[in-house]
A and B are shown apart, each in its own frame.
Chain A
Amino acid sequence: MSGVTVFGLCAAAAVGLGLYGLITNPQPLRKIIAFNLLGSGVFLLFGVVGRRGAAAGMGNDPVPQALVITGVVVAFSATALAIALLLRLFQTSASVARSGRASPGDDPDQVGG
């Protein structure tokens, strides 16, 4: 079994692991990490396919390499957006919880808002 095949199987396992974590992990940040693991597995599959297409004196097909570079940057920006959303959600729900604690007797319905 060649190294390329080993990495291909590793990439397939990373996709499976990421999918499992995405579905079963209840915490949003853990879901984001699991989704990144899934994406990294997909990128590695691109790399394995490109490595098999080595030709013309190059060790790896340049087209999948360029696609993966673009993909890594897009994945990073999507992760940054997801984390910004998560932090904002945390801020909002924390302030809702605080204002709920500050006036427990006034209006119990307000806490749920």
Chain B
Amino acid sequence: MSIETVIEIVLAAVVLTLGVWTIVVPETFSATVGFVAYGLLVALIWVRLDAADVALTEAAIGGGLGGVLLLGAAARLRDADMMADARPGKLLRAGAAALSVLTAAVLAGVVLLLPDPAPTLAPAAVANAWATGLSNPVTNVLMAFRAMDTMLEKVVLLLAIIGVWSLAPDSAWGGRPGPRHQADPRGVLAFLARLLPPVGIVIGIYILWTGSDHPGGAFQGGAILASMWLLAIMAGLADTPLVSHRSVRFILVAGPGLFLLVGLAGLLFGAAFLSYPPALAKPLILGIEIAMTLTIAATLGLLLAGAPERSTEP
């Protein structure tokens, strides 16, 4: 057994232990912390699976922003035990355990019996890379070969934010999401919130730009930009915007809107919906990606900020 296999087995064992901890530990806050650690280690598994693009996304969104979201909710729901129903009976728990073991066993069997050689679309993705001028095949699949999925996913993000905003109480309709954060202006948080964003913004833009040829792209860059914005909000250096503000809404629809316009132009002047002419493919894709990065950063940040809680008056 090689050293890599040993490391992989240890990594899988630690990840599974964290998963078990997340489910069985009695305190909700401990479970949340366990899940954040789980998310970061799963990003390492993605690196071992040679999927650096997914690893970046998983670390930034699954571990980072998702962790902030869950920790924030756990802190606000500390005394929420009155919402919980009674713990289910022994019979239900045994039934659930049997169902879960059966599901896991079937999946494990499928993993062990996967066909050999495995079917793959990698050669097709590489062979058609000339049509876009980008050499990162994952970006090619996201932005060109399966562009419809990516565009509809932007619409899902938009629907999620409409859903969150519609939960605002009447008094805060169109107001600012979340509480106004206060931090010691000479404290560590405020210091980091001044120090990190310039670096983070450059890294976010770099990851967007390099995504055309190397691992990276609009999702990962947007997530980093969103986290820098949230850092400034949490340190009290910036406030969340009014959700009724026109420029906020424009940024939120800019990404899917531009995507849809380019798609319709492809329908009118080209071969099909979302077909790019090869000569213009790269500038078009980069333009969509820049608009999408802004939209993703704003959407992720506002999803984390939650429903409006303060009225339009400051």
Contacts and interface: CB of A to CB of B under 8 A. Distances in A.
Given A50-B49, A58-B122, A62-B121, A30 B28 contact: yes
Interface string A81-107: 101111111110100010000000000
A87 B54 CA distance: 30
Contact of B48 (A1, A7, A56, A73): A7
A16 B49 contact: no
A50 to B, nearest CB: 7
B267 interface: no
A37 B88 CA distance: 20
A3 B8 contact: yes
19 contacts: A16-B101, A23-B96, A24-B96, A27-B81, A28-B83, A34-B22, A57-B126, A58-B125, A58-B137, A63-B121, A65-B51, A65-B54, A65-B141, A66-B142, A70-B150, A74-B157, A80-B160, A80-B303, A88-B307
Interface string A50-86: 1111111111111101111110111111111101111
B50 interface: yes
5 nearest A-B residue pairs (beta carbon): A59-B50, A16-B104, A53-B120, A8-B111, A3-B8
Interface of B is mostly: helix
Contacts of B97: 20
Contact of A70 (B22, B74, B153): B153
Interface of B: 4-5, 8-9, 12, 15-16, 19-20, 22-23, 28, 31-32, 35, 38-39, 42, 45-46, 48-51, 53-54, 57-58, 61-62, 65-66, 69-70, 73-74, 76-77, 80-88, 92-93, 96-97, 99-101, 103-105, 107-108, 110-112, 114, 118-123, 125-127, 137-138, 140-142, 145-146, 149-150, 153, 156-157, 160-161, 163-164, 167, 169, 217, 219, 296, 299-300, 303-304, 306-307
Given A29-B74, A72-B54, A86-B73, A11 B111 contact: yes
B156 A17 contact: no
B39 to A, nearest CB: 7
Contact of B54 (A28, A30, A68): A68
**Which of B73, B141, B150 has the most chain A CB atoms closer than 10 A to its own CB?**
B73
A112 interface: no
